[in-house]
Amino acid sequence: MERKAILKLKDGKEFTGTAFGADAAQGIGEVVFNTGIPGYQEILTDPSYAGQIVTLTSPMIGNYGISSEDNESSGIKAAALVVKKLYRGPVMEGRITLDEFLRREGIIGIEDVDTRALTLHLRNHGSQNAVIFFPEDRAEAEKKLAAFPEITERDLIDGVSVKKKVENPDLGPGFSKPPMNAKKHFAVVDYGIKRSIIENLYKRDISVTLLPHTAASEDVLAVNPDALFLSNGPGDPALLSDAVSMVRALIGKLPIEGICLGHQIITIAIGGRTEKMKFGHHGSNHPVRDLLTGRTFVTAQNHGFMTVKESLPETTNLWFVNANDGTVEGLYDETLSVRSVQFHPEAAPGPEEAESIFDIFMEKAR
């Protein structure tokens, strides 16, 4: 049965559509849009989307179903899904439908939404909190939305990080296994890491000790790694003072590398600053220029916060900049032995041409 649902933004703008996925759920969080074309499964299961309602601008979603091999984490991390048109037909043997996946994971989706209008609205007015509800729950949902904390006030990491240290985690079906003969060993702090990042390390014969986000500098040193690697993850880096302290304590003691949120933590740790972007970069087509080689990569991106270029210390070099808007996409500082990228070289979903960044991460480790 088709069930009407409403997506309401904090600034009052409303969209109506049809609910799918979990029947009784409500979705609340910051609504963002992603312009990638294939890859809804990877997006939904990317822990960086924790606490966010994801709008996909690509209008036909669910076409190829959900496979058991493409999850970027244990399950759906996004708070809800907004699409123009959900595919409800049969999918290939061994896969399940997107509708079924959301139902199993207890997540609500809303389809038949004018996602183009929603995207333009977010572009013009900025990302903001929103709620998806059934018409009969309006009063309660609106109250909840009004009281809901902003993304800059939410601690989302605890819900997506491992709770205790894990050696060479098994990534599940479809992913590479840990290396038999590791050439290097990384301490990886998990702020909500994507499986594809770990896989890229494994593929380069790097063994991984996955540490919880609460790990202190001593915990890192205790595993005697060749490098400290800071993962991607959800939310505002400015809230992560413990992580920043941990990194600061290790600067000069270990090569420190990071992706996305990890990059932002490094920014703050070396004395820089981050700020919230109007609507962020979420998609699979963002050009970044490698200032060392002049080459431009088309990259996968997913971030709502960014490094403020002017805030970086003098010794720090820009590594990559966004070819569209000039924002910082990567930095390195040889004196401090730090190196990080804002975009996602592991892609998943998105173009895989920047995977060579992991080679550099490997090379720059001790």
Partner 1 sequence: MRRDDIHHILVIGSGPIVIGQACEFDYSGNQAVRALKEEGYEVSLINPNPATVMTTPSLADHIFLEPLKKEYIERIFDQVGPDAVLSTMGGQTALNLTMELQKDGTLEKYGVKVIGASADAIEKAEDRGKFKDIITELGYESARSGIAHSVEEALEIKKSIPLPLIIRPSFTLGGMGGSIAETEEDFIPLVEHALSISPVHEILIEESLIGWREFEMEVMRDRKDNAIIVCSIENIDPMGVHTGDSITIAPIQTLNNEEYQRMRTASIEILRAVGVDCGGSNVQFALSPDHSRMVVIEMNPRVSRSSALASKATGFPIARISAKLAVGYTLDEVKNEITGESVSCFEPALDYVAVKVPRFELEKFPLEASALGTQMRSVGEALALGRTALEAINKAFRSSEQKLEGITALDRKKHDPELLLRSAHPLRYLAAYTAIKEGETDLEKLSKITGFDIYFLSLLMEQKEIEDALEKGPLTEELYMKAKKAGLSDKRIKELSGSEIPVKVLPARHYVDTCAGEFEALTPYCYTSFDEEDEGEGLGKDAVIIVASGPNRIGQGLEFDTCCTLSSRAFRKHGRKTVMINSNPETVSTDYNTSDRLYIAPLTAEEVLAIMEKEGTKDVVVQLGGQTPLNMAAELEKNGAHIVGTSLESIDETEDRALFSAVVKKLGLRQPENRTASTVDEIKEKAHEIGFPVLLRPSFVLGGRAMFIAYDDAGLETFIKKPEVTISSEAPVLVDQFLEDAFEYDLDAVSDGTSVYIGGILQHIEAAGIHSGDSAAVFPPYKSKPEILEEMREWTLRLAQHLNVRGLMNIQFAEKDGKLYIIEVNPRASRTVPFISKSSGVDLVEAAVRVWLGEDLVQQGLVKERGSWSEGRCITGWAIKEAVFSFDRFSHVDPALGPEMRSTGEVVGYGRTFGEAYAKSQAAAYNRLPVSGRVIISVNSKDRKTIVPIARSLQELGFHILATKGTARDLFKEGILADVVLKTQDGHPNIVDYIRLRKADLIINTPMGFHSRQSDDDIRTEAVKAHIPYTTTTSAAKAAVEAIRYLQERRTVVRELPQR
Catalytic residues: 260, 344, 346
DSSP character for 150? P
Among 27, 233, 283, 304, contact with partner 1 (rule: CB under 8 A) = 283
Q: Among positive and negative, which fits the CA dihedral 170, 109, 63, 40?
A: negative
| 294 near partner 1, rule: CB under 8 A | yes
| 255 near partner 1, rule: CB under 8 A | no
Cis-peptide, bond into residue 349, ω within 30° of zero: yes
Q: Among positive and negative, which fits the CA dihedral 265, 165, 242, 221?
A: negative
| 3 near partner 1, rule: CB under 8 A | no
Provide the token pair at 310. 């002017």
Whether 317 and 324 have beta carbons less than 8 Å apart is answered as no
Among 85, 125, 309, 364, contact with partner 1 (rule: CB under 8 A) = 85
| 36 near partner 1, rule: CB under 8 A | yes
Of 43, 18, 6, 47, residue with least CA distance to 131 = 6
Q: How many Cβ atoms are within 10 Å of 170's Cβ, its own excluded?
A: 11
The interface with partner 1 within residues 210-229 (CB under 8 A) comprises: none
| 128 near partner 1, rule: CB under 8 A | no
Backbone angles phi, psi at 233, to 5 degrees: 170, 175
| 12 near partner 1, rule: CB under 8 A | no
Residue 342 CB, nearest distance to partner 1 (Å)? 16
| 303 near partner 1, rule: CB under 8 A | no
CB of 265 or CB of 347, closer to partner 1: 347
Binding segment (CB under 8 A) for partner 1, from list 80-88, 149-157, 237-245, 261-269:
80-88
Helix (H) or strand (E) holding 245: helix 241-250
The percent of the chain in helix, strand and coil, each rounded to the nearest 5, is: 25, 35, 40
The interface with partner 1 within residues 101-120 (CB under 8 A) comprises: 114-117, 119-120
Whether 66 and 250 have beta carbons less than 8 Å apart is answered as no
Contact letters for partner 1, residues 322-341 (x by CB under 8 A): -xxx----------------
Residue 66 CB, nearest distance to partner 1 (Å)? 9
| 60 near partner 1, rule: CB under 8 A | yes
CA atoms within 13 A on the CB side of 342: 32
Q: Among positive and negative, which fits the CA dihedral 226, 232, 233, 239?
A: positive
Binding segment (CB under 8 A) for partner 1, from list 33-41, 74-82, 162-170, 329-337:
33-41
CB of 207 or CB of 284, closer to partner 1: 284
Provide the token pair at 18. 């049809």
The interface with partner 1 within residues 146-185 (CB under 8 A) comprises: none
Residue 31 CB, nearest distance to partner 1 (Å)? 14
CB of 57 or CB of 200, closer to partner 1: 57
The residue count of the chain comes to 366
| 351 near partner 1, rule: CB under 8 A | yes
Distance CA(357)–CA(226), nearest Å, equals: 17
Whether 280 and 322 have beta carbons less than 8 Å apart is answered as no
| 33 near partner 1, rule: CB under 8 A | yes
Residues binding partner 1 (CB under 8 A): 33, 35-39, 41-42, 57-60, 63-64, 67, 70, 84-85, 87-90, 92, 114-117, 119-120, 123, 283-287, 289, 294-296, 298, 323-325, 347-353
